[in-house]
């Protein structure tokens, strides 16, 4: 597959921009301020879920006025298609010990909730002082398990979205906005 420039991807493949980069920047700044207030004076570890959350986490941490450690965990949930596999497993574990520390999970998107449900159980067994979630996006009406979010960026309609770290078949992560794909993108992959 030949890599496309941002302009080409936008012109050829994006159906609709749901969240533009200016709005995202403002919202992430608000979240950064709120998290800084709430965790002031606390030993905070941000746990980014790879791969999708790396863009959000990188922007968020630079909007925070308190210091926080960063760690990453890689979880498998989707293959290269746009439907959930239902199988959750750890591909890369945390490097740090989180026992007795305040942990804030940074997630790109909450869809069925299976990934976070699994992760909450797994990480809480390591006895952190607190364990909360900050998700950039929640998909409306899709959750099969109830997940409580301490922080949320946006709610979007139940459609497959790409950009700002989110991919389709490992592409489009670098788009600075959140958008939906034209049907031909999926159709080409099926042929």
Catalytic residues: 111
Residue 105's beta-bridge partner residues? 47, 133
Contacting ligand IMP (CB under 6 A), which of 9, 31, 48, 52? Answer: 52
C-alpha to C-alpha distance for 17 and 163, rounded to whole angstroms: 10
**Residues binding ligand IMP: number (CB under 6 A):** 19
d(CA 43, CA 58): 19
- CB closer to ligand IMP, 97 vs 117: 117
Alpha-carbon torsion (75, 76, 82, 86), positive or negative: negative
Instruction: Tell me the C-alpha distance between 101 and 132, whole Å.
Output: 11
Q: Does 161 bind ligand IMP (CB under 6 A)?
A: yes
Contact with ligand IMP (CB under 6 A): which of 57, 98, 105, 110? 110
Judge contact between 69 and 45, C-beta under 8 A.
yes
Contacting range for ligand IMP; rule: CB under 6 A; set: 13-21, 56-64, 110-118, 122-130: 110-118
Q: Is 180 in the site for ligand IMP (CB under 6 A)?
A: no
Q: Do residues 143 and 112 touch, judged by C-beta distance below 8 A?
A: yes
Q: How far is the CB of 133 from ligand IMP (least distance, A)?
A: 11
Backbone phi and psi for residue 41, each to the nearest 5 degrees, phi listed first: 80, 5
CB of 43 to ligand IMP, least distance (A): 26
In the three-class reduction of DSSP (H, G, I as helix; E, B as strand; rest coil), residue 56 is classed as helix
Q: Which residues 112-141 are close enough to bind ligand IMP by CB under 6 A?
A: 112-115
> Can you give the binding site for ligand IMP, defined by CB under 6 A?
49, 52, 77-78, 84, 107-115, 160-162, 166-167
């Amino acid at each position: 597959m030949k890599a496309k420039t941002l302009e080409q991807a936008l012109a050829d493949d994006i159906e609709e921009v749901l969240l533009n980069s200016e709005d995202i920047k403002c919202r992430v700044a608000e979240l950064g301020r709120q998290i800084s207030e709430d965790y002031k004076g606390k030993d905070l570890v941000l746990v980014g879920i790879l791969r999708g959350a790396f863009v959000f986490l990188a922007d968020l941490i630079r909007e925070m006025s308190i210091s926080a450690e960063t760690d990453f965990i890689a979880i498998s949930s989707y293959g290269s298609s746009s439907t959930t596999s239902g199988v959750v497993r750890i591909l890369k574990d945390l490097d740090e010990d989180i026992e007795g520390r305040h942990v804030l999970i940074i997630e790109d998107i909450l869809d069925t909730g299976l990934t976070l449900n699994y992760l909450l159980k797994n990480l809480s067994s390591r006895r952190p002082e607190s364990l909360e979630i900050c998700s950039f996006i929640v998909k409306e009406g899709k959750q099969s398990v109830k997940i409580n979010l301490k922080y949320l960026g946006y709610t979007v309609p139940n459609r497959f979205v790409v950009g700002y770290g989110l991919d389709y078949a490992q592409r489009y992560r670098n788009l600075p906005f959140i958008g939906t794909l034209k049907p031909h993108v999926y159709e080409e992959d099926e042929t």
